[in-house]
């Protein structure tokens, strides 16, 4: 059976100019099983939406009322699909009524039947319509049942040739209120190898090659935050060379992490005890990344451990 709407693989069917999805109060995600609805819902959650999966259809009007009443005006995203069974027939009328009450967008995800069949084969999950029929027959049945909903879609995405990162990018580009290319939270940590590498580290840099202030009596009880200790560590040419090179590397890498859909990145700098060298280096990198426009948080895990 032909699809309800013609689509371009890997692209979206655009909205009318007056309909801006970035301003939607409520986004309803629907579409074919295996087309990426869970990835889409998670993406909306990362964008700050209140995300709900498989809300029973009778609760949809009440949920819309709650969305309108929220003082914070936090936007919401719902996933509704073939799991609703026979109740899904009520959706077109419910959606038309919702459009009269608030700004909402119906996002329909689709993919070619053979692609969907392969995805089910790879994950070994049964189709929601049951295992009595082949996956391909179930997909064709599902497509027929969803046709009236697909016809109402404000936005259609064919995920046949998309990976999860590409799908996240498309959704973020359309629904993010402020297009912030630096939308990633970066944690810059200092730590001591003596106490173990932080388990949540994405990138780890060892700064034990720098001269250790711990062997200088007047610095032993101080930290890398103290001006005298910081001045001592900075006095070595390799210190500033390292800071410059690592800053350049990170500023180069971060946009690539963002494009791949990463929302958080933890960068850890370690010395022996986590009190002097790693503290100074982490603070300097924090300043460089913040100056570059990124959202950065500074954490010194072991700075007080030995005191």
The CATH number that applies at residue 168 is: 3.40.50.300
Where does 43-201 show beta strands of DSSP type E?
50-53, 76-79, 104-110, 155-158, 185-192
Position 153 in a domain: yes
Position 7 in a domain: no
pLDDT one-digit tens code per residue, 66-122: 766 655 567 889 998 888 888 888 889 988 888 887 888 999 999 998 998 888 888
Structural domain count of the chain: 2
Other residues' Cβ atoms within 10 Å of the Cβ of residue 48: 13
Position 291 in a domain: yes
Cα of first residue to Cα of last residue in the chain, in angstroms, is: 72
- Residues 137 and 205 grouped into a single domain: no
- Residues 204 and 106 grouped into a single domain: no
- Residues 168 and 218 grouped into a single domain: no
Which of 129, 152, 175 is the last residue in one of the domains? 175
- Residues 96 and 221 grouped into a single domain: no
Provide φ and ψ at 235, rounded to 5°: -70, -15
Position 5 in a domain: no
Q: Enumerate residue ranges in the chain where pLDDT < 50.
A: 1-11, 14-18, 179, 181
Position 114 in a domain: yes
pLDDT one-digit tens code per residue, 32-42: 998 999 999 99
- Residues 135 and 22 grouped into a single domain: yes
Q: Alpha carbon of 64 to those of 77, 103, 107, 219: distances in Å? A: 11, 10, 16, 61
Which of 140, 175, 210 is the last residue in one of the domains? 175
Position 307 in a domain: no
- Residues 60 and 142 grouped into a single domain: yes
- Residues 200 and 145 grouped into a single domain: no
The whole-number pLDDT of residue 103 equals 84
- Residues 161 and 202 grouped into a single domain: no
Q: How far apart are CA 97 and CA 77, in angstroms?
A: 17
The whole-number pLDDT of residue 81 equals 87
Q: List CB contacts of 138: < 8 A, sequence separation 6 or more.
A: 127, 128, 129, 130
Tokens representing residue 220 in the block: 């032993």
Position 208 in a domain: yes
Question: Could you list the residue range(s) of the whole structural domain that residue 116 is in?
Answer: 12-175
Which of 143, 175, 207 is the last residue in one of the domains? 175
- Residues 209 and 135 grouped into a single domain: no
Provide the b/e sequence for 100-119 (b: ≥16 CB within 10 Å): eeeebbbbbbbbbbebbbeb
Q: List CB contacts of 36: < 8 A, sequence separation 6 or more.
A: 109, 111, 159, 162, 164, 167
- Residues 200 and 219 grouped into a single domain: yes
Q: Alpha carbon of 260 to those of 165, 166, 257: distances in Å? A: 5, 8, 5
Where does the chain show beta strands of DSSP type E?
12-13, 26-31, 50-53, 76-79, 104-110, 155-158, 185-192, 203-206, 264-271, 295-300
- Residues 90 and 192 grouped into a single domain: no
Position 154 in a domain: yes
- Residues 111 and 32 grouped into a single domain: yes
Q: Residues 54, 57, 60, 62: is their CA dihedral positive or negative? A: negative
Q: What's the pTM?
A: 0.57
């Amino acid at each position: 059976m032909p699809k309800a709407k013609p689509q371009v693989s890997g692209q979206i069917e655009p909205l009318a100019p007056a309909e801006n999805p970035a301003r939607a109060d409520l986004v309803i995600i629907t579409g074919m099983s295996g087309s990426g609805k869970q990835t889409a819902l998670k993406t909306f959650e990362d964008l700050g939406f209140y995300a709900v999966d498989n809300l029973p259809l009778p609760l949809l009007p009440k949920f819309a009322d709650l969305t309108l009443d929220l003082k914070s005006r936090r936007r919401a995203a719902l996933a509704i699909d073939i799991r609703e069974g026979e109740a899904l027939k009520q959706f077109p009328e419910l959606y038309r009524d919702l459009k009269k009450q608030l700004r909402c967008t119906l996002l329909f995800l689709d993919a070619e039947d053979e692609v969907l069949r392969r995805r089910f084969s790879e994950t070994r999950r049964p189709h929601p319509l049951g295992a009595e029929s082949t996956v391909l027959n179930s997909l064709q049945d599902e497509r027929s049942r969803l046709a009236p909903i697909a016809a109402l879609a404000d936005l259609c995405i064919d995920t046949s040739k998309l990976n999860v990162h590409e799908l996240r990018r498309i959704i973020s580009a359309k629904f993010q209120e402020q297009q912030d290319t630096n939308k990633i939270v970066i944690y810059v940590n200092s730590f001591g190898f003596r106490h173990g590498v932080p388990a949540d580290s994405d990138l780890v840099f060892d700064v034990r090659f720098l001269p250790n202030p711990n062997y200088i009596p007047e610095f032993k009880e101080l930290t890398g935050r103290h001006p005298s200790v910081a001045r001592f560590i900075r006095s070595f040419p390799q210190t500033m060379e390292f800071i410059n090179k690592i800053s350049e590397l990170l500023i180069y890498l971060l946009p690539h992490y963002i494009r791949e859909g990463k929302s958080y990145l933890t960068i850890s700098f370690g010395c022996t005890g986590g009190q002097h060298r790693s503290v100074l280096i982490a603070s300097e990198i924090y300043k460089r990344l913040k100056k570059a426009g990124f959202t950065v948080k500074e954490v010194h895990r072991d700075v007080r451990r030995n005191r």
